[in-house]
């Protein structure tokens, strides 16, 4: 699919996307982490992105607790946390989002005692 988009075969890519979702859902689930990552590397895979986000809504713990969570692309994470139908406590979600943010900024300490004091 990525190759078809690179060569501007958008219609073929859309058909492949639909085919995968309708007939290869088990394979997509088995390779979910990779499928999710690749689908968000190219904004043309909207249907696959939506499919991935629907899976995440049903099983948010697998997404937020995965080893790959801190390497998820920003727009992929935003597309999930914008959803109102996540079946997970918001406190747990935000804790992981903070961990994700710290992982993106390696110069920031995860220990609050080591953070500079900000006075407003």
Residue 64 and residue 88 in contact, taking contact as beta carbons nearer than 8 Å: yes
pLDDT score for 13 = 82
- Take residue 17 and report the two structure tokens written for it: 């996307």
pLDDT score for 1 = 57
What SS3 string covers 73-85?
A: CHHHHHHHHCCCC
Residue 30 lies in a domain: yes
Q: In total, how many domains does the chain have?
A: 1
Q: For each of the chain's 120 residues, which pLDDT tens digit applies?
A: 555 555 557 788 888 899 999 999 999 999 999 999 999 987 889 999 999 999 999 999 999 999 999 999 999 999 999 999 999 999 999 999 999 999 998 776 666 677 666 655
In the block, tokens 């948010």 appear at 60
Residue 8 lies in a domain: yes
| Domain residue limits at 84 | 2-103
DSSP state, residue 106: T
Residue 98 lies in a domain: yes
Q: What is the mean pLDDT of the chain?
A: 86
Residue 109 lies in a domain: no
How far is Cα 55 from Cα 11, in angstroms, rounded to an integer? 25
Q: Whole-prediction pTM value?
A: 0.75
CA proximity to 89, closest of 60, 63, 56: 60
pLDDT score for 63 = 93
pLDDT score for 5 = 54
Residue 76 lies in a domain: yes
Residue 45 lies in a domain: yes
């Amino acid at each position: 699919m990525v190759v078809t988009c690179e060569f501007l075969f958008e219609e073929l890519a859309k058909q492949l996307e639909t085919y995968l979702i309708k007939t290869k859902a088990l394979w997509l689930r088995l390779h979910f982490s990779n499928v999710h990552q690749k689908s968000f590397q190219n904004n043309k895979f909207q249907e696959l992105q939506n499919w991935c986000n629907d899976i995440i809504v049903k099983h948010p713990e697998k997404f937020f607790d995965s080893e790959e969570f801190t390497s998820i692309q920003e727009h992929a994470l935003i597309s999930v946390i914008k959803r109102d139908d996540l079946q997970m406590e918001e406190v747990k979600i935000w804790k992981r989002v903070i961990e994700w943010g710290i992982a993106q900024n390696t110069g920031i300490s995860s220990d609050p005692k080591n953070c500079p004091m900000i006075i407003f």
